[in-house]
Amino acid sequence: MHLLNADLHCHSRFSDGTLSPTALARRAHDNGVELWALTDHDEVSGLAEAAAAASALGMGFVNGVEISVSFAKETVHIVGLGFDASNPALLAGLARTRGGRLARAQAMADGLAQVGLKGAFEGALRYVGNPALVSRTHFARWLVETGTCTDTGAVFRRFLTEGKPGFVPHEWAGLGEAVRWITQAGGVAVIAHPGRYKLTVNEEYALFSEFKAHGGQGVEVLTGSHGQADTAKYTAMAQEFGLFASRGSDFHSPEESRTDLGTLPDLPGVLQPVWQALARPGNAWAAAASLQV
Ligand code: AMP
Ligand code: MN
Ligand code: MN
Ligand code: MN
């Protein structure tokens, strides 16, 4: 049976990706994606361009966003799908979430200067496509360019993670807030790449329970950052918590991302794909999705 090739997680220059929404749409389409979402960090400004590009290619598209949340002293990402991108409460919440990034970037540069890496703020800004969205990724690209590290992963390990000189703790949105911004704008909230969080078993159980209690409906089972053990674990968690399953590459850049758009395996057949929750009458991909139930 043909399962819909859905890729519901990736980033453009409107956050920390390197491609435009139009170039991402073309790449997704070339790779066989039939239903696509652009999910920039804390930002929806790229969605109009993405929707127009997908429509011109005849590819299914739903609005997306990836919201930064603080939970149990860890940063957790919540993906929103299929929401109204003009919803005022959502837009205000995202603007507030973006708000602290500039001051955080300055503090990160101060930390890097203390270990002899001068000019990091200006350096990172050269990689920023959207001045409201300075990310650790932009610092990482600059530190690769200057030859300090050979790849962005090494920059994160040496400089940008907890306890390292360029790491600055940050208070993001609350879990319930983020879920409500998405659901009240008519969207579906999804826990992004759960295998990446350093949570204890109890904290992870609390994350799933509270997410569900706040109205969250989905979890990424297949993502570029999950191995086979993660996929098996979160297949079971999706079933235990009654969550729809999502699939998304988390593609950022042709040079940096190991998982390209549209190239993940199919979701395990025992799960309910999240696009069933996103289906609207009249969507060609919704009709295709309904054949797969
Ligand atoms: P920020 O939102 O500024 O904290 O940056 C988070 C982003 O950094 C993530 O969305 C990833 O794109 C990237 N990132 C996080 N950890 C790593 C890592 N270990 N290696 C490469 N990129 C990472
Ligand atoms: Mn990112
Ligand atoms: Mn993420
Ligand atoms: Mn992401």
Q: Which domains does the chain have, with CATH numbers?
A: 6-98+171-290 (3.20.20.140), 102-158 (1.10.150.650)
Rounded to whole angstroms, the Cα distance separating 252 from 193 reads 14
Q: Is the CB of 169 under 6 A from ligand 1?
A: no
Write the residue with the smallest CA distance to atom 8 of ligand 1. Answer: 137
Decide: 98 in ligand 1 pocket, CB within 6 A: no
Q: Is the CB of 252 under 6 A from ligand 1?
A: yes
Output the pLDDT for position 280.
Answer: 79
135 token code pair: 């990310």
Q: Whose CA is nearest to atom 14 of ligand 1?
A: 137
Ligand nearest to the CA of 9: 4
Q: Give the CB-side neighbour count of residue 78, counting CA atoms within 13 A.
A: 34
Radius of gyration of the chain (CA): 18
| Closest residue by CA, ligand 1 atom 22 | 153
Rounded to the nearest whole angstrom, what is the distance from the C-alpha of residue 140 to the centroid of ligand 4? 16
Residue 6 belongs to what H/E stretch? strand 6-7
What's the pLDDT band for 111 if we cut at 50, 70, 90? very high
90 touches 183 (CB < 8 A) = no
pLDDT category at 1 given cuts 50, 70, 90 is low
Residue 290: what pLDDT? 66
- Provide the pLDDT for residue 293: 45
Taking alpha carbons only, the member of 76, 3, 80, 4 closest to residue 39 is 80
Q: Is 16 in the pocket of ligand 1 (CB under 6 A)?
A: yes
Q: Ligand 1 pocket check: which of 10, 65, 137 to mutate, most ligand atoms within 8 Å of Cβ?
A: 137
Residue 141 has pLDDT above 80, yes or no: yes
Question: Which ligand minimizes its atom distance to the CA of 139?
Answer: 1
SS3 222: strand
Q: Mean pLDDT throughout 49-57?
A: 98
Element (H, E) at 51: helix 47-57
Beta bridge partners of 273: 245
Mean pLDDT across 240-256: 98
What is the rounded average pLDDT for all residues in the chain? 96
Span 104-119, mean pLDDT? 98
**Ligand 1 touching residue 153 (CB < 6 A):** yes
Spatial separation of the C-alpha atoms in residues 246 and 222, rounded to whole Å: 7
Residue 147, pLDDT > 50, answer yes
- Ligand 1 binding pocket includes 97 (Cβ within 6 Å): no
Which is nearest to 62 in space by CA: 228, 258, 281, 278? 278
Average pLDDT over residues 239-251: 98
For residue 153, the ligand 1 atom closest to its alpha carbon is: 20
Better-predicted residue by pLDDT, 33 or 286: 33
Percent of the chain residues topping a pLDDT of 70: 98
CA angle 226, 229, 234 (to 5 degrees): 70
Q: Is the CB of 137 under 6 A from ligand 1?
A: yes
Which-ligand-closest: CA of 10? 4
Give the mean pLDDT of 165-192.
Answer: 98
- Cα–Cα distance between 260 and 31 in angstroms, integer? 8
Structure confidence at residue 157 (pLDDT): 98
The residue ranking higher by pLDDT, 283 or 250, is 250
Ligand 1 binding pocket includes 9 (Cβ within 6 Å): no
Burial label for 213, CB within 10 Å (0-12, 13-18, 19+), is exposed
> Which residues have beta carbons under 5 A from ligand 4 (an ion)?
66, 250
